[in-house]
């Protein structure tokens, strides 16, 4: 589904990704872990086309298409979803209006008619239950005045509405208490299907108790330096990252 | 520039007076003398620093001093399609009140008088005598003095004690001429104790010539009266609209003024609200969507003379291309106006580096027990919000539009007529999309 080869990217001239390669197939959950500043969030920004980052080398294909040539909105319409580490507040834009616009832009891309108001409301109700989201939030402005937990739930709600092929969860566990974490993880698990995939970016192993990965990768200094099964996450939790840094530097 | 008008007045003041309401002639010579002294305002004056009228005033406009009827029937051509809005509809063609009124207007509540100043001068001279020029004649301003010298008619509305106008009154100013034309009018609005009225003023142009309008509106809001004033400017870019809105509030009255500029050439709104009684509520709002060479200046003052009053002021600008915006928010709290709560906000978005905005909050507070705040910002659209929306599949253009629309939304929320609010939402959206923002089926503002 996703094939990243030798990806180099920088922000304001500073190189962050230094030859990252990764391949994700349908049905898989990949966890990406790593110390602060390793480039975890840069990877999610580059995959979604954030204009603040510049790709200098490498290839990314998504379902056979050259992802790097696509506009951010077209990447979304092709099925890439990012659950933001810091969801943005947009005062004055109601959740309903925002979501309806997004859903209909996705439909337009697939040559489908806009969704009727009643179908949309039905879909919205159904997906809100998935993350136990307060129905009042839908009438508010996007993320405005939402608590940390509400914002993250809202991300998963949007993910459910847009039904992506590849979802990237960027530090979705940060700022969540244990109940909110369980709800968010439950939502993600319910959305898992054999034909979609996830990349879970996280700092701590905690989230992976709930969202069980098929593969765990360690990102360090802009590259994936170690890959393994879910037991690698436990090892990292126990031993920290220093032994990996030593291994890399000893190369 | 002034000279041709000074000469015109000297040679024609007899006919100006002859074709005017007698009540308007009382102050005419004094106004003229003041205009002779002040001349037209220039950028050298602090109050006009950001609106250069030189180009607009260099045009050789025609004036209709002899009040020759203008051949247009607004009822034939104007179909204001605000679904669900039922209004008492009146027209002013250039600066003349259109005499034939809509049959629906005969169902006005008892005692309400709506018509031209000229008409009312004949039927109710006492009403005009007490109010005409009461607020405007005290101002030292060249444009107001000019208006006093040349205005021959205007719109008049009187709502008697405890009468509530069940529908909004809609006043459509239509500019229609074959040559470059200047319209000068003076409106008077009176709400007696406990009265309630909503007025919607729409500015439209029909012809492609240069227009300049100089309109002064005086509003008297008595105790416990509620007045809402909406102004929607949607005129072509060769139009200069110079408007003065003076409102006087007596105790426990409630005033909302909301001025929206969607399209025009040069706009200067001078708005002054004098709060002359206790326990008043005042809301002054406005929005500007400017592009190309548009120039919009909202020069506003809220004067708190009495204690225990609240005022809110909110102005938002979205400026594109080489458009220029200016906002002055003078807030005056007199020494005795204790317990005043006054809040002012002006926020502006520049879509291009070539657009310019000048904002000037001006607080003069002489009382010591007050709550006052002001805030002014100039910025561009939030890039992180744009990216967030694009990540959800919303195109960059659509995302920008949603953000701009959201930005102006709180001004639109300050429209207390639901049908009008919906219509203005639509017009603003169309305007932001770059489509012609005229009302559907309206052939007036093509």
pLDDT in tens, B5-23: 999 999 999 999 999 988 8
Q: Return the residue matching tokens 């031993």.
A: A239
- Going by C-alpha positions, the residue among B207, B226, B343 that lies closest to residue B280 is B226
Q: Which of A73, A84, A88 sits opposite B393 (nearest CB)?
A: A73
* pLDDT, tens digit (0-9, with 9 covering 90-100), for B22-39: 889 999 999 999 999 999
Q: Which H helix or E strand runs over B401?
A: helix B396-412
Mean pLDDT of B107-125: 91
DSSP state for residue B137 in the 8-state scheme: G
Q: Write out chain B residues lying below 8 Å of A109, CB-based.
A: 393
In this complex, do B390 and A106 lie within 8 Å of one another by their Cβ atoms?
no
Write out the two tokens for A21.
């390669």
The ipTM estimated for the assembled molecules is 0.96
User: By the 8 A CB rule, do A197 and A26 touch?
Assistant: yes
Does the structure show a pLDDT above 50 at B177? Answer: yes
pLDDT of residue B263: 87
pLDDT of residue B84: 61
In this complex, do A105 and B395 lie within 8 Å of one another by their Cβ atoms?
yes
Q: Return the residue matching tokens 């003095």.
A: B145
Does the structure show a pLDDT above 70 at A169? Answer: yes
pLDDT band at residue A251 using 50, 70 and 90 as cut-offs = low
Write out the two tokens for B139.
């101002």
- Is the model's pTM score more than 0.80? yes
Q: Which of A49, A91, A101 sits opposite B394 (nearest CB)?
A: A101
Summary mean pLDDT of chain A: 91
pLDDT band at residue B420 using 50, 70 and 90 as cut-offs = confident
pLDDT of residue B431: 85
- Going by C-alpha positions, the residue among B216, B258, B218, B207 that lies closest to residue B241 is B216
Mean pLDDT of B376-395: 95
Mean pLDDT of B72-92: 71
Mean pLDDT of B314-342: 96
pLDDT band at residue B443 using 50, 70 and 90 as cut-offs = very low
Q: Which of B377, B385, B388, B391 to mutate to test the interface with A (most CBs of A within 10 A)?
A: B391
Q: Which of A99, A102, A103, A169 to mutate to test the interface with B (most CBs of B within 10 A)?
A: A102
Mean pLDDT of A37-64: 94
Summary mean pLDDT of chain B: 91
Domains of chain A, first to last: 2-249 (3.40.50.300)
Does the structure show a pLDDT above 70 at A117? Answer: yes
* pLDDT, tens digit (0-9, with 9 covering 90-100), for A120-154: 999 999 999 888 887 777 778 999 999 888 899 99
* Beta-carbon count within 10 A of A128 CB: 19
Does the structure show a pLDDT above 50 at B442? Answer: no
* pLDDT, tens digit (0-9, with 9 covering 90-100), for A184-194: 888 889 999 99
- Going by C-alpha positions, the residue among B147, B259, B271, B143 that lies closest to residue B219 is B271
Q: Which residues, at least 6 apart from B312, have a Cβ–Cβ distance to it below 8 Å?
A: B282, B283, B284, B285, B342, B343, B344
pLDDT of residue B83: 55
Does the structure show a pLDDT above 80 at B71? Answer: no
pLDDT of residue B440: 47
Q: Return the residue matching tokens 């997906």.
A: A127
In this complex, do B406 and A93 lie within 8 Å of one another by their Cβ atoms?
yes
* Beta-carbon count within 10 A of A30 CB: 22
Beta bridge partners of A24: A2
pLDDT band at residue B441 using 50, 70 and 90 as cut-offs = very low
pLDDT band at residue B430 using 50, 70 and 90 as cut-offs = confident
Mean pLDDT of B58-76: 83
In this complex, do B402 and A101 lie within 8 Å of one another by their Cβ atoms?
yes
* pLDDT, tens digit (0-9, with 9 covering 90-100), for B202-252: 888 888 899 999 999 999 999 999 999 999 998 888 899 999 999 999 999
CB pairs under 8 A between A and B: 73
* Beta-carbon count within 10 A of A5 CB: 14
In this complex, do A105 and B393 lie within 8 Å of one another by their Cβ atoms?
yes
Phi, psi at B324, each rounded to 5°: -125, 135
Residues B424, B412: Cα–Cα separation, whole Å: 7
Beta bridge partners of B244: B216, B270
User: By the 8 A CB rule, do A47 and A168 touch?
Assistant: yes
Write out the two tokens for A120.
């949309």
B410 near A CB under 8 A: yes
In this complex, do A92 and B409 lie within 8 Å of one another by their Cβ atoms?
yes
Interface residues on A facing B, Cβ-Cβ cutoff 8 A = 48-51, 71-73, 75-77, 81-82, 84, 87-93, 97-98, 101-102, 105-106, 109, 141, 158, 162
pLDDT band at residue A205 using 50, 70 and 90 as cut-offs = confident
| B contact residues 370-399, partner A, Cβ 8 Å cutoff | 382-385, 387-396, 398
Q: Return the residue matching tokens 């104790």.
A: B193
Q: Which of B383, B390, B409 sits opposite A73 (nearest CB)?
A: B390
Q: Which of A50, A92, A102 sits opposite B392 (nearest CB)?
A: A102
């Amino acid at each position: 589904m996703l094939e990243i080869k030798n990806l180099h990217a920088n922000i304001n001239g500073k190189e962050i990704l230094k030859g990252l390669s990764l391949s994700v197939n349908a049905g898989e959950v990949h966890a990406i872990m790593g110390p602060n500043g390793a480039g975890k969030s840069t990877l999610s920004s580059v995959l979604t086309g954030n204009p603040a980052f510049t790709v200098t080398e490498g290839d990314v294909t998504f379902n056979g298409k050259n992802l790097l040539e696509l506009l951010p909105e077209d990447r979304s319409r092709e099925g890439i979803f990012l659950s933001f580490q810091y969801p943005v507040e947009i005062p004055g834009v109601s959740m309903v209006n925002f979501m309806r616009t997004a859903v209909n832009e996705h439909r337009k891309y697939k040559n489908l008619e806009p969704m009727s108001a009643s179908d949309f409301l039905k879909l919205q109700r159904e997906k809100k239950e998935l993350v136990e989201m307060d129905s009042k939030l839908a009438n508010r402005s996007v993320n405005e005045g939402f608590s940390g937990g509400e914002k993250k739930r809202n991300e998963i709600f949007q993910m459910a509405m847009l039904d992506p092929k590849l979802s990237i969860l960027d530090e979705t566990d940060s700022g969540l208490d244990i109940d909110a974490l369980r709800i968010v993880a439950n939502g993600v698990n319910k959305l898992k299907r054999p034909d979609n995939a996830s990349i879970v970016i996280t700092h701590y192993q905690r989230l992976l108790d709930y969202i069980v990965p098929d593969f765990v990768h360690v990102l360090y200094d802009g590259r994936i330096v170690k890959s393994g099964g879910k037991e690698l996450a436990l090892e990292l939790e126990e031993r920290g990252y220093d032994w990996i840094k030593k291994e890399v530097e000893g190369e | 520039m002034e000279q041709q008008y000074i000469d015109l007045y000297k040679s024609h003041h007899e006919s100006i007076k002859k074709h005017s309401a007698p009540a308007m002639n009382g102050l005419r010579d004094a106004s003229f003398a003041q205009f002779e002294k002040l001349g037209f305002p220039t950028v050298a004056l602090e109050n006009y620093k950001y609106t250069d009228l030189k180009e607009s005033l260099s045009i050789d406009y025609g004036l209709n001093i002899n009040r020759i009827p203008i051949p247009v029937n607004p009822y034939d051509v104007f179909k204001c399609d605000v679904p669900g809005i039922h209004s008492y509809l009146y027209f002013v063609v250039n600066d003349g009140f259109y005499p034939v009124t809509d049959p629906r207007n005969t169902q006005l509540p008892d005692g309400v008088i709506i018509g031209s100043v000229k008409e009312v001068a004949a039927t109710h001279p006492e009403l005009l005598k007490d109010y005409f020029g009461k607020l405007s004649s005290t101002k030292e301003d060249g444009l107001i003095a000019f208006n006093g010298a040349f205005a021959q008619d205007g719109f008049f509305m009187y709502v008697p004690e405890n009468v509530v106008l069940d529908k909004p009154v809609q006043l459509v100013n239509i500019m229609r001429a074959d040559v470059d034309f200047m319209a000068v009018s003076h409106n008077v609005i009176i709400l007696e104790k406990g009265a309630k009225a909503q007025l919607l003023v729409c500015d439209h142009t029909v012809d492609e010539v240069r227009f300049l309008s100089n309109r002064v509106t005086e509003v008297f809001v008595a105790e416990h009266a509620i007045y809402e004033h909406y102004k929607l400017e949607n005129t072509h870019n060769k139009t200069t609209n110079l408007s003065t809105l003076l409102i006087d509030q007596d105790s426990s009255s409630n005033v909302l003024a909301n001025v929206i500029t969607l399209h025009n050439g040069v706009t200067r709104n001078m708005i002054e609200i004098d709060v002359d009684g206790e326990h008043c509520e005042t809301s002054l709002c406005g929005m500007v969507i400017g592009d190309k060479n548009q120039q919009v200046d909202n020069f506003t003052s809220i004067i708190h003379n009495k204690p225990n009053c609240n005022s809110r002021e909110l102005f938002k600008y979205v400026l594109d291309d080489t458009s220029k915006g200016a906002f002055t928010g003078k807030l005056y709290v007199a020494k005795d106006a204790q317990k005043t709560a006054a809040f002012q906000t002006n926020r502006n978005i520049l879509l291009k580096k070539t657009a310019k905005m000048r904002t000037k909050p001006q607080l003069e507070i002489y009382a010591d027990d007050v709550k006052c705040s002001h805030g002014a910002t100039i910025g561009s659209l939030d890039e992180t919000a744009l990216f967030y929306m694009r990540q959800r599949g919303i195109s960059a253009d659509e995302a920008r539009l949603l953000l701009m629309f959201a930005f102006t939304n709180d001004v639109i929320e300050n429209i207390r007529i639901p049908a009008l609010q919906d219509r203005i939402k639509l017009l603003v959206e169309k305007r932001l999309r770059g489509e012609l923002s005229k009302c559907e089926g309206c052939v007036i503002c093509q």
